[in-house]
């Protein structure tokens, strides 16, 4: 698979990474043994960027990655995050904490769960208005100097916040939702990334499974699948979004590939500084996602996709009100 580079210092990673969140929660029942097989298969397929966070499964996701990484002679790059506090009692509710003390304690805990000496890419998961970004990035910069992390990232930040943070320490990556039906980064933050030499890591590049074409309603989703309550999957919103998806499905037929591969190929074509990290628990989906790197879209294909899914076209907000906390902060 093609190699892309994160940040000006050039952390080499596969052009398509793997988001690991769903191996711990949010998308129905999980199975650690199945997930471990999928992680190993992803590595065999040339995927070398694995993305986690301390809040995914309340530490479970990092522990799972730690089991996968154990004994790996040539281990892949690992990204994880801090800044969102949750507990079992809180459910989906969260508190955002970017204080230096909290960042330091979270980093040490993540290192232990992952079983590594250094984290390749460490993000602030959501930005808090209560702590100046300069203080938070200052704490991360100290972790770089201490050898605990290699590169600093920010999630779901505005262009203005990115510039303030970058003035303290180079920001290697911004991670935000970006796909055909979530093109918000094109408004300003993507341009700011390019001006600063910051790479863009696109999470939910398949629209939480919507762009695969497999979801026609939420009735067949597990009871604990959060998409049952996600606004874009509800009623009239879903109907409107499904109409737009028809072009993607038809284009996939023309290219003899899956709709998901069209969606990922579109993202890859937006620039060599963009790294999508689709998530999955299944080996078959790893093969499908990795195969997207071989799909070549013509200039006409890209124009028509832009017309089918223009900026702001998706019906419904990305998250519930709780999930929108800290977005574009």
Catalytic residues: 56
- Per DSSP (E only), the strands in the chain are 3-6, 11-14, 18-19, 49-51, 77-82, 84-85, 95-96, 119-124, 149-155, 173-177, 199-203, 274-276
117-120 long-range Cβ contacts below 8 angstroms, 24+ apart:
117/147, 118/147, 118/148, 118/149, 118/150, 119/78, 119/79, 119/80, 119/148, 119/149, 119/150, 120/11, 120/77, 120/78, 120/79, 120/149, 120/150, 120/151
Kindly give, in sequence order, each residue whose CB lies less than 8 Å from that of residue 133, ignoring residues fewer than 6 positions away: 98, 127, 161, 164, 165, 168
DSSP element (H, E) containing 304: helix 299-308
Cross-strand partners of 202: 176, 276
> Using the 8-state DSSP alphabet, how is residue 71 labeled?
T
HSE-up of residue 243 (Cα within 13 Å, Cβ side): 8
């Amino acid at each position: 698979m093609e190699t892309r580079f994160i940040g000006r210092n050039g952390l080499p990673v596969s052009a398509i990474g793997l988001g690991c969140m769903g191996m711990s929660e949010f998308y129905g029942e999980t199975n650690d043994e199945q997930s471990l097989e999928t992680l190993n298969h992803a590595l065999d397929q040339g995927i070398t960027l694995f993305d986690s966070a301390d809040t995914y499964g309340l530490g479970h996701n990092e522990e799972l990655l730690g089991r996968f990484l154990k004994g790996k002679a040539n281990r892949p790059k690992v990204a994880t995050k801090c800044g969102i506090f949750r507990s079992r009692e809180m459910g989906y509710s969260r508190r955002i904490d970017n204080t230096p003390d909290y960042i330091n304690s979270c980093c040490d805990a993540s290192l232990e769960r992952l079983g590594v000496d250094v984290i390749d890419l460490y993000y602030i998961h959501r930005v808090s208005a209560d702590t100046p970004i300069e203080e938070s990035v200052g704490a991360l910069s100290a972790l770089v100097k201490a050898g605990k992390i290699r590169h600093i990232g920010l999630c779901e930040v505005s262009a203005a916040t990115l510039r303030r943070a970058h003035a303290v320490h180079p920001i290697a990556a911004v991670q935000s939702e970006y796909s055909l039906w979530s093109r918000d980064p094109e408004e300003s933050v993507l341009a700011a990334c390019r001006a600063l030499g910051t790479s863009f890591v696109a999470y939910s590049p398949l629209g939480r499974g919507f762009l695969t074409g497999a979801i026609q309603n939420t009735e067949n989703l597990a009871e604990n699948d959060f998409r049952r309550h996600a606004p874009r999957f509800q009623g009239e919103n879903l109907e409107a979004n499904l109409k737009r998806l028809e072009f993607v499905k038809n284009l996939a037929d023309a290219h003899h590939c899956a709709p998901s591969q069209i969606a990922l190929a579109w993202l890859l074509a937006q620039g060599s500084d963009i790294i999508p990290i689709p998530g999955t628990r299944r080996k078959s989906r790893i093969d499908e996602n990795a195969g997207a790197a071989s799909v070549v879209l013509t200039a006409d294909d890209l124009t028509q996709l832009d017309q089918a899914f223009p900026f702001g076209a998706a019906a419904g907000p990305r998250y519930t009100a709780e999930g929108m906390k800290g977005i574009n902060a």
